[in-house]
Structures are given as structure tokens and as C-alpha cells.
Amino acid sequence: MVAALILDDGDRVAIHRALGRRTTVRLCERADAFRSTLAVTDVRLVVSELRDRVGAAVLPVLIEQASRADAPPIIVRASLADGAADDLIQLATARIPARVSVRDAAPISDAILAALGGSGEPSADLVILERVGPSVPRPVRAFLVLCAVSPSPRLHVERAATLLGVSRRTLENRLALGALPAAHSVIAWCVVLHAAWQLDVLGHRPKEVAANLGFASGAAVANLLRRYCGCSARSLRNHGGFQTQLERFAALVQPNLRTE
């Protein structure tokens, strides 16, 4: 059985289509009912938004679920609204091993099929959000969430602004007011961090990383690493690996770190 606290009608339809008729989907709208549903022992997958129908936080329920020794995979579905970005950052700081799917940026079926297919590798998205999210100004947190959760060479500034429902100029102005780098730099850094994570933490080869992130070749990943990290894929660990590059990014987006 799949337990889902999903309020969006389109997502509900997509879940049923992805799973087919053979899989039972129990849909909930309230956090208390969701908690009761998760007490059932045959739950194979948990899919949830971070607020229920009346606006109550679902995070405490997910924390309880993740603490179980036999906890099934958890998918968190989120929007790019400002409040949702704050909730995702709280999810990151709670260190729940969840797969995040952002509405409008990716279909929920992608996350469901990956989770049920056994693709359980940890991602860098929540690690990035935990490190820098709380100190990023609220007007640009949704942009940071988009970049961290949906890293791709195809994510351009204009596309990001459209997904956020603002103009490119508004997005750039918000970043400037927060003393953050330009939008294209934040997008690129998040792609770089995902590449560094896969190379350093997961031990993937450059060609595999390129395929995972949507690059045309391993050379494209190597060029990005050289430009932003000053190293090659082979020498990444000698330059501190993922963690050092994450700290470099943190120094760029957190003004209080820049003079240290």
C-alpha cells in the first residue's frame, strides 16, 4: 500500500496512473489521519506534502515515520511558494531521508517510479538546504529550493523566474538586495554541488554523473568543476571534496562568512 497526504488533484491522478490498479493508494487530507494510516504495517511508500488541508504541519508525522527501523521510502511533494520553501528547509534541518519533488519543476511520477524501482541513493539537495537555507533571505528561499532540488544544465534564469511566477529582473533584484550572487551563478553552483556529491560521496564516474544531471558529456561536467571548483573530477577529493565546495558556496550566499 502507498500512503499519501496529497491535496493537489493533478498529483493525485498522476499517483494513481504511475502505480496502476494493482497498488492500493490510501489518500489523506489531515495529518492526524495520515499518522493513523502510517501505523499500518504494509505501507511500501509514503508520499506527502508538508501541510495538510487545514494548514497543519506534517513534518512531525514524517519525523516519526523516518525514525522507524523499517521505514519505507518517503517522497515529499512541495510547491515553490515562500511558505513551502520554509517548510522544506525545516525538513532539511530535521535530516529526514526523503526524496523531494517540486511541483511544476518535475512530475511526481518520476519520484515515485524511482523510489519503487530501488533508486534509494541519497541526494545532495537536502544537505545543501540544511547548510545554507536558514540564513538565505526569505524572498529568495524558493529560488534556492528550486536550484537545490532540480539541478540541471537546462535550468536557465528565465525558466527559474517563470516557475517562481516573477520576472527575471525581480528575481535578480531580490538576489541583489540579499547580497547574493547573480541567479545564473546560484543555479550553476547547485549543479556543481550535485556533481561533486555524486563524484565524491557516491563514488560515481564522470560519465555517469553527466548522464544523471543531463549533461551531454563528462567533459561538460569537468568544465563546470574547473570553472567553479578550480579542480578536475579526478582531483576533487584532493581539493576537499563535496564538503569543501559546499562551504565555498555557503560563503557566497551568507554575507557574514565572506570576510572570514
Largest CA distance in the chain: 58
Residue-wise pLDDT tens digits, 166-179: 999 999 999 999 99
pLDDT at 259: 42
User: If residue 25 lies in a helix (H) or strand (E), which one and from where to where?
Assistant: strand 25-28
pLDDT tens-place string over residues 77-134: 999 988 899 999 999 999 999 999 999 899 999 999 988 886 678 899 999 999 999 9
Higher-pLDDT residue of 87 and 153 is: 87
Q: What is the mean pLDDT of residues 181-200?
A: 96
3-state secondary structure of 241: helix
Mean pLDDT of the chain: 92
Domains in the chain, ordered, with CATH?
1-120 (3.40.50.2300), 122-260 (1.10.10.60)
Starting at the edge strand found earlier in the chain, the sheet holding 74-78 runs 25-28, 2-5, 45-48, 74-78, 98-102
Which pLDDT band holds residue 59 (cuts at 50, 70, 90)? very high
Query: Cell numbers at residue 180, please?
Result: 547574493
Question: What whole-number distance in Å separates Cα of residue 241 and Cα of residue 218?
Answer: 18
Using pLDDT thresholds of 50, 70 and 90, give the confidence band for residue 70: confident
